[in-house]
Amino acid sequence: MCKWVYSLKYKADGSLERYKARLVAKGFTQTFGIDYQETFAPVAKMNTIRILFSLSANLGWCMQQYDVKNAFLHGELEEEVYMDPPPGFSHSLLPNQVCRLKRALYGLKQSPRAWFERFTKAMVFMGYRQSQGDHTLFIKHSISRGVTILIVYVDDIIIIGDDFVERDKLRKRLSAEFEIKELGKLKYFLGIGVAHSEKGIFISQQKYILDLLKETGMVDCRPCETPIDLKHRLENDEEGATTDKGQYQRLVGKLIYLAHTRPDIAYAVSVVSQFMHNPKDSHLQAVYRLLRYLKFTPGKGILYTNHGNLNLECYTDADYVGALTDRRSTSGYCTLLGGNLVTWRNKK
């Protein structure tokens, strides 16, 4: 089963760039164990990406971005998958004939995994080593020149390092193997803006915040100077009016994504995400308050600068009596690499 999906691609200035037509398989008709087995495929961890930002700022590495065209179509299928002929194609086949797929299609359950496997194979073949701390990270050291690092997020690729000869070689081999588009110096990745200056590298999600405010009708809201009430009692709300669960979960999901460049909202986000299963009106109000804080600080992000060292530090703290209902404490930490903030966490 499959269908054609048509879409329009626009340039940044809003003019039409091209028409796209993509054959998409209906993955929901697949059955586990028959035409698919494993479906998991890793994506790059944000923590790894921030480590790479800190190293780049400290060591002066350069970051280039690429994307792979029609990435999933490169995946090789291990299972036997059959599909009805595409609409508009059936006249050239006998009735009751079907297609056997050799390569993955968009929409198949195993496509992301098949693509990642194919990509990993190609990288290992080129002499790159897959990191065990993050499987989407591939590394090659050359004896005299330096290092080349590649990190992949589905079809987005960042290449980092100081070995320009190897980078060039890698770029040529990748475009021979897959067809890739060169996007130049890393500027925008997964909704995160990356700005380079002589001070260092600055990452922020300003566009994402402004879009979120627009979407929630909060563009003209009254800004608020803090993300959450100091002495909130959100956990105690038992009787309050329930609110639309789907809408709440979508909103909080977006805030969780936003926290990639905003450690200042980590605590507030971890509080509001505790009520995903049964959100009350008071919780939704806390989310709106957080949006008003974002309105106050849309341009905030993290700056990665050269501190002249590569030391690892971790700061930890915990509260003991924060939660009144279940007495479980909240703990948090943040780690710095080379003086730059790379990871943090707030956990109840």
Q: Which is nearer to other proteins, 236 or 316 (CB)?
A: 316
Distance separating alpha carbons of residues 213 and 298, to the nearest angstrom: 10
Distance separating alpha carbons of residues 68 and 261, to the nearest angstrom: 25
Two tokens, residue 148: 């080349």
Distance separating alpha carbons of residues 133 and 137, to the nearest angstrom: 8
Q: How far is the CB of 136 from other proteins (least distance, A)?
A: 12
DSSP letters for 131-181: -SS-TTEEEEE-SSS-EEEEEEETTEEEEEES-HHHHHHHHHHHHHHT-EE
Q: How far is the CB of 112 from other proteins (least distance, A)?
A: 23
Q: Which is nearer to other proteins, 59 or 303 (CB)?
A: 59
Cβ–Cβ under 8 Å, residues 123 and 166: no
Q: Which is nearer to other proteins, 49 or 105 (CB)?
A: 49
Which residues sit at the interface with other proteins, rule CB under 8 A? 47-48, 51, 55, 129, 131-134, 137, 139, 141, 147, 149, 309-320, 326-329, 331-333, 335, 337, 342-343, 345, 347
Q: Which is nearer to other proteins, 242 or 331 (CB)?
A: 331
Distance separating alpha carbons of residues 1 and 87, to the nearest angstrom: 10
Q: Which is nearer to other proteins, 51 or 81 (CB)?
A: 51
Residue carrying structure tokens 């804080």: 293
Contacts of 184 (CB under 8 A, 6+ apart): 64, 65
Q: Which is nearer to other proteins, 70 or 331 (CB)?
A: 331
Cβ–Cβ under 8 Å, residues 128 and 25: no
Distance separating alpha carbons of residues 58 and 190, to the nearest angstrom: 23
Q: How far is the CB of 206 from other proteins (least distance, A)?
A: 27
Q: Which is nearer to other proteins, 20 or 347 (CB)?
A: 347
Q: How far is the CB of 129 from other proteins (least distance, A)?
A: 7
Of 167, 179, 145, nearest in space to 68 by CA: 179
Cβ–Cβ under 8 Å, residues 103 and 74: yes
> Phi-psi bin for 88: left (phi > 0), alpha (psi -120 to 50), beta?
left
Q: Which is nearer to other proteins, 19 or 320 (CB)?
A: 320
Contacts of 12 (CB under 8 A, 6+ apart): none
Q: How far is the CB of 158 from other proteins (least distance, A)?
A: 14
At 259, the amino acid letter reads: A
Q: How far is the CB of 313 from other proteins (least distance, A)?
A: 5
Q: How far is the CB of 45 from other proteins (least distance, A)?
A: 9
Q: Which is nearer to other proteins, 273 or 346 (CB)?
A: 346
Distance separating alpha carbons of residues 45 and 86, to the nearest angstrom: 37
Q: How far is the CB of 34 from other proteins (least distance, A)?
A: 38
Q: Which is nearer to other proteins, 140 or 289 (CB)?
A: 140
* SS3 assignment for 185-249: ECCEECCEEEEECCCCEEEECHHHHHHHHHHCCCCCCCCCCCCCCCCCCHHHCCCCCECCHHHHH
